[in-house]
C-alpha cells in the first residue's frame, strides 16, 4: 500500500460546476480511487484535497474489510466520512453521522458499526455444504495460506492479514468451469446469499450489497441535513453495479480485468483512463474544472461534523 501523502498542488481551488447544494461522492477503492496493482492514489490527491476543502464527503464503498479501512481512512484523509466495507455488509459511521438517541456510544475507533449482512460463520458453512454437494472447486480467502493472499492481491504481509479479517463476506477464487458457477450461485441464493464478481475475487455476501448501503447512507444524510444530496459514484467492477445504479451521476472506470460492467442507468460516463486517473476523469466529467464562480460548497458541511446529530425522534430509524 502506498503511503504517499495527499498532493499539495491545490493552492487555489476553483468551485465545482453543476447545481448548488450538498453533494456526496461514493467511491470504490481497488481499481478506482486506488491503482489496481500498486494501490497508489497520487493522481487523485488534488481532487481529494479539493473536495475536502469544499466540504464534500468522499465515502469509500469497497470489498475491503473494516480492519483494512481503519488505517487507510487516515492515510487518505477520510476520517470524518462514513465507509462501506465488504460489499455492503458493514457500514462505519463517524459521530457526526450518528443518531443522538439510538447510537449514543461509539467503539474504541470512534465509529458506530452497522451490519447489513450475515455472519461470516454462516457464509463459510454454506460454502462448504455447496462445495461438497455440487462437487465444484474453489478456494476461499480464509483457506489460503497468507503467502497466496499476498501473491493474488499484491498487498504486503500486514495488509494481507487485515484483508483476511472478514465479518460479513468471503472472497473466493473459482477453480472450476465457468458454467458451473450457476449452480453455486443458485444454491447460495436459496440460502439468502449472493455471489458477486469483483476485480480479483468472487465474493459471497448476505442480502445486502453496495447499492443498499449507499441508499441507506443517502437517507441518513437527508435525515441529518433535511435535504437530499446530489450523489456521484465511481467504480470499475461488476460488484460496483448496484452502487452505480444508486447514485445520480455514475462513472464506470475502465477496469484492468476485462469484466463486463453495465449498470442500468440513463446517464452514465465511462472513462478512458483506469484507476485513480480514471477517477479524476469521471469527477471532472460531471463536476468540471469551472472557474469564475464563487465557492459556496465550503459551508455546506462546515457544521455537519460538529453538531448535526439527529435528535428528532420523527427522523426515523435510518
- CB burial class (10 A; 0-12, 13-18, 19+) of residue 265? middle
Domain boundaries along the sequence of the chain = 23-116+208-288, 120-205
- Tell me which of 28, 30, 52, 236 is the catalytic residue: 28
Question: What pLDDT was estimated at residue 318?
Answer: 59
Residue that has been written with the C-alpha cell 439468502 in this structure: 192
What pLDDT, in 10s, does the model give residues 201-215? 999 999 889 999 999
**Neighbouring-strand partners of residue 251:** 234, 269
Residue that has been written with the C-alpha cell 447460495 in this structure: 188
Phi and psi torsions of 197, nearest 5°: -100, 130
Sign of CA pseudo-dihedral 8, 10, 12, 13: negative
Architecture in CATH for domain 120-205: 2-Layer Sandwich (3.30)
Annotation says 248 is catalytic: no
What pLDDT, in 10s, does the model give residues 233-259? 999 999 999 999 999 999 999 988 888
101-107 average pLDDT score: 74
Question: 3-state class of 58 per DSSP?
Answer: strand
Class of domain 23-116+208-288 (CATH, top level): alpha beta
What pLDDT, in 10s, does the model give residues 155-195? 999 999 999 999 999 999 999 999 999 999 999 999 999 99
- Residue 19 — very low, low, confident or very high, per pLDDT cuts 50/70/90? low
Domains 23-116+208-288 and 120-205 share a fold: no
Q: Is the pLDDT of residue 90 over 80?
A: yes
Q: Is the pLDDT of residue 138 over 80?
A: yes
Length, in residues, of the chain: 318
Lowest mean pLDDT among 51-55, 101-105, 224-228, 293-297: 293-297
**Neighbouring-strand partners of residue 317:** none
Question: Rounded CA gap, 22 and 221, in Å?
Answer: 10
The helix-helix angle for 120-134 and 181-190 (nearest 10°) equals 130
Phi and psi torsions of 62, nearest 5°: -145, 165
- Asked if 10 and 53 touch (Cβ cutoff 8 Å), the reply is yes
**Neighbouring-strand partners of residue 113:** 92
Q: Which strands, in side-by-side order, build the sheet including 90-94?
A: 83-85, 90-94, 111-115
Amino acid at each position: 500500500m502506498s503511503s504517499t501523502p495527499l498532493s499539495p498542488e491545490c493552492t487555489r481551488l476553483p468551485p465545482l460546476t453543476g447545481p448548488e447544494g450538498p453533494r456526496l461522492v461514493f467511491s470504490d477503492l481497488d481499481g478506482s480511487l486506488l491503482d489496481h496493482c500498486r494501490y497508489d492514489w497520487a493522481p487523485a490527491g488534488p481532487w481529494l484535497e479539493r473536495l475536502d476543502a469544499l466540504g464534500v464527503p468522499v465515502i469509500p464503498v469497497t470489498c475491503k474489510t473494516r480492519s483494512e479501512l481503519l488505517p487507510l481512512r487516515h492515510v487518505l484523509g477520510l476520517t470524518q466520512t462514513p465507509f462501506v466495507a465488504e460489499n455492503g455488509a458493514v457500514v462505519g459511521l463517524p459521530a457526526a453521522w450518528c443518531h443522538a438517541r439510538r447510537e449514543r456510544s461509539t467503539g474504541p475507533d470512534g465509529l458506530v458499526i452497522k451490519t447489513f449482512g450475515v455472519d461470516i460463520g454462516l457464509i463459510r458453512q454454506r460454502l462448504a455444504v455447496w462445495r461438497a454437494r455440487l462437487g465444484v472447486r474453489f478456494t476461499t480467502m480464509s483457506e489460503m495460506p497468507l503467502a497466496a493472499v499476498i501473491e493474488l492481491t499484491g498487498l504486503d504481509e500486514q495488509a494481507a492479514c487485515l484483508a483476511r479479517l472478514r465479518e460479513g463476506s468471503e472472497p473466493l477464487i473459482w477453480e472450476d468451469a465457468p458454467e458451473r458457477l450457476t449452480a453455486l450461485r443458485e444454491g447460495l441464493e436459496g440460502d439468502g446469499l449472493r455471489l458477486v464478481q469483483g476485480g480479483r475475487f468472487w465474493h459471497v455476501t448476505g442480502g445486502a450489497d453496495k447499492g443498499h448501503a449507499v441508499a441507506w447512507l443517502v437517507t441518513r444524510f437527508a435525515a441529518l441535513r433535511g435535504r437530499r444530496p446530489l450523489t456521484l459514484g465511481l467504480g470499475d467492477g461488476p460488484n460496483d453495479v448496484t452502487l452505480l445504479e444508486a447514485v445520480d451521476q455514475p462513472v464506470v472506470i475502465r477496469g484492468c480485468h476485462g469484466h463486463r460492467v453495465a449498470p442500468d442507468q440513463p446517464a452514465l460516463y465511462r472513462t478512458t483512463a483506469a484507476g485513480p486517473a480514471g477517477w479524476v476523469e469521471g469527477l471532472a466529467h460531471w463536476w468540471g474544472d469551472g472557474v469564475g464562480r464563487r465557492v459556496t460548497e465550503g459551508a455546506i458541511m462546515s457544521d455537519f461534523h460538529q453538531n448535526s446529530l439527529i435528535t428528532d425522534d420523527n427522523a426515523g430509524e435510518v
